Amino acid sequence: MTGWERFTDSFFNLRVGMEYAPKIIDGLWLTLALAGCIIVSGVAMGLLLAVVRAMGIRPINWAIIFTVDLFRALPPLVIIVLLYFGLPAAGVSMSGFVAAWLALALVLMAFSEEIFWAGITAVPPGQWEAARSMGLSFLVTFGLVVLPQAVRMVIPPLVNRTIAITKGTALASVVAVPEILGAAQAGVSFSFNPTPLTLGAIAYLILFLPVVVLGRWVEQRFQWKR
């Protein structure tokens, strides 16, 4: 057997691929569900924190800044392990899916809050002053004048950060979640052949490559004209 034949038998074994492809597909759907939960909850919580921070209540702002800095500093894997293995000692148990969801959503929340806050502070002060001079309240000014402009400015970096964090769904395999990587690792263990990892790589490309292309389009569509 030549070197090329050994390579194809190891990474592109048709028999092994056919046997474990259904499990990889199941892992693909689970990864898609996990990524969707992370995006919706993480971005929503980040926007909520940015809105609360804009109200300028100093003690609350300190708490928000501390929380955001904490989850930006901690590696996602450490948070997953702490939630899944640490909380049961305090009487709080959760599944691996929930632990991965909560951990990555908290990380996305922290980064998205900073992105939204940067957009809010980038809106020229004249926009605030013009709206307030017309008799609009703070909340109406913020919701109808400032926030729409801020959101438009932050869409490109927010999309890029969201893609980067949701690719961390592979970390869920550490807590026995059978997503793509978890299913692929199980296939390698049972078949003694790395072909399931090749299938996993293809599944990640199918899932995230269109998202990356969409992110590039969004970045070009919403960037400010110079």
CATH of the domain at 140: 1.10.3720.10
Q: Pick 194 or 125 by higher pLDDT.
A: 194
Q: Is the pLDDT of residue 224 over 60?
A: no
Instruction: For Cα atoms 34, 202, 84, give the angle at the middle one, nearest 5 degrees.
Output: 30
Token duo for residue 206: 């199918």
In a domain? residue 3: no
In a domain? residue 15: no
In a domain? residue 210: yes
Alpha helices for the chain (secondary structure H): 3-11, 14-54, 58-73, 76-81, 96-122, 125-133, 138-141, 147-166, 180-191, 195-222
What letter represents residue 19's amino acid? E
Tell me the residue range of the domain where 94 lies. 24-222
For range 100-124, the mean pLDDT:
92
For the chain, what is the domain count?
1
**Cβ contact 199:19 at 8 Å:** no
Residues 6+ apart with CB under 8 A from 144: 131, 136
CA distance 127 to 146: 7
CA distance 2 to 7: 9
In a domain? residue 213: yes
In a domain? residue 86: yes
For range 26-37, the mean pLDDT:
90
Average per-residue pLDDT for the chain: 86
In a domain? residue 14: no
In a domain? residue 8: no
Dump the DSSP string for 116-143. HHHHHHHS-HHHHHHHHHTT--HHHHII
The pLDDT tens digits for 73-110 are 999 999 999 999 888 888 888 888 999 999 999 999 99
CA distance 100 to 171: 8
Q: Is the pLDDT of residue 128 over 80?
A: no
In a domain? residue 16: no
CA distance 65 to 69: 6
pLDDT level of residue 1 (50, 70, 90 thresholds): low
pLDDT level of residue 226 (50, 70, 90 thresholds): very low
> Which of the 8 DSSP states describes residue 74?
S
Distance of CA 54 to the CA centre of its chain: 24
pLDDT level of residue 155 (50, 70, 90 thresholds): confident
